[in-house]
Amino acid sequence: MVPETHMRRPARIAAALSSSLLLVSCDHLIVDPGAGRVSQRGTVQVLYAGSLVELMEQKVGPTFSAATGYRFAGIAGGSAQLAEEVKSGLQRADVFVSASPSIDLALEGTAQGNWVTWYLTFARAPLVLGYEARSRFAHALKVNPWYKVVAAPGFRVGRTDPALDPKGQLTIEAMREAAARTGDQTLLKLIAGSGNVFPEETLLGRLEAGQLDAGFLYLDEAKAAGLSTVSLSPVSLSTTFTVTVLARARNEAGALSFVHFLVGPEARRFLLSAGFELSSPPQVHGNLAPTSLVVTSARQ
């Protein structure tokens, strides 16, 4: 089964229009670009935030495999949902790339299964409003405050579930802050309803299909999809991306190799070109991080 985010644009639009989306269990994308290729060093299973699909599958994953000989296999989904599935045993992986440090903290400690003992912050991405240039509201978004446009009658704006995805939480924070700073309380109605909440993996497809006029996205994913964007001024919010090796990883050596690659020069060039703000240097959190990572972050 071909994951939605790897389809050509018409096929991805068709999937968004269908009530039967091309998703695997728990609304996650199962991606294995190395299928059919024999690796000399084994497979590295990577869980990662769904907003990183383009980066991971088109850039980081293939380049990591070519450089190291490890085979990259990724699963994309909402960070909070992935973390819950790690704790419940529904997901087993070597590496976890999250869209919020709070998700890593939720996997720390005996009560949480001691899945995470350290994590590394490596990049930030601003939250923006992404929209299709052909939207009937495109001109309005260019010339008027975004908070006025999204509250206009007939405007269809999408967001992700705050219970499953840090981006959904950040979106609610942005709308509440905008309402408080501008005095426009109509934004709060968008928070109260759930009809504009969609899985992270399908939000872009719905935008491209014309089902939505705009969506709250990270700049990198909007840029990768070729969407126009407007900032959320006077609000300015970003998320911080983290990476860690999960406890009881089957391929610990491969997992550590992936982390080193992700904070190395080639991957950082990918991140910059995708619109991320780099953590310079990457910051290690926790007392049990591998010495090589501590030294690497200190040198950058």
Coil, helix or strand at residue 259 = helix
Specify the CATH architecture of the domain 4-124+240-299. Answer: 3-Layer(aba) Sandwich (3.40)
Q: For residue 49, list its beta bridge partners.
A: 77
Residue 266: per-residue pLDDT:
95
Interatomic CA distance for residues 248 and 16, integer angstroms: 36
**Tell me, what DSSP letter sits at residue 276?**
P
- CATH superfamily label, 126-230: Periplasmic binding protein-like II (3.40.190.10)
Does the structure show a pLDDT above 90 at 5? no
Using a pLDDT cut of 70, give the percent of the chain over it: 84
Say yes or no: do domains 4-124+240-299 and 126-230 share a fold. Answer: yes
What local confidence, expressed as pLDDT, does residue 40 receive?
Answer: 59
Q: Taking all residues of the chain, what is their mean pLDDT, rounded to a whole number?
A: 84
pLDDT number for residue 152: 87
CA atoms within 13 A on the CB side of 151: 18
pLDDT of residue 257: 96
Single pTM value for the model: 0.81
Q: How far is CA 126 from the centre of its chain?
A: 12
Contact 176, 189 (CB under 8 A): no
Q: Which of 25-39, 134-148, 154-168, 171-185 is least confident?
A: 25-39
Pairing state between β 228-230 and 238-245? unpaired
Per-residue pLDDT band at 297 (split at 50, 70, 90):
low
pLDDT at 189 over 70: yes
pLDDT at 208: 85
229: pLDDT strictly greater than 80:
yes
* 241 closest CA partner among 257, 255, 220: 220
Locate the domains of the chain by residue range. Answer: 4-124+240-299, 126-230
Of the listed ranges 62-66, 206-210, 254-258, the least confidently predicted one is 206-210
Residue 19 has pLDDT above 60, yes or no: no
Q: Where are the beta strands (DSSP E) in 79-208?
A: 95-98, 119-131, 157-160, 197-198
Helix axis angle for 265-273 and 61-68, nearest 10°, is: 160
Q: What is the pLDDT of residues 118-169, one digit of tens each?
A: 999 999 999 999 998 888 899 999 999 999 999 888 899 999 999 888 999 9
Task: Tell me the sheet residues that pair with 44.
Answer: 72
Please give the structure tokens belonging to residue 67: 């450089």
Per-residue burial over 249-265, b = 16 or more CB atoms within 10 Å of its CB, e = otherwise: bebeebbbbbbbbbbee
For residue 31, is pLDDT > 50?
no
pLDDT at 202: 84
Please give the pLDDT value at position 75: 94
pLDDT at residue 18 greater than cutoff 60: no
Listed in order, strand segments (DSSP E) in 138-227 are 157-160, 197-198, 214-218
Confidence check: pLDDT of 4 > 80: no
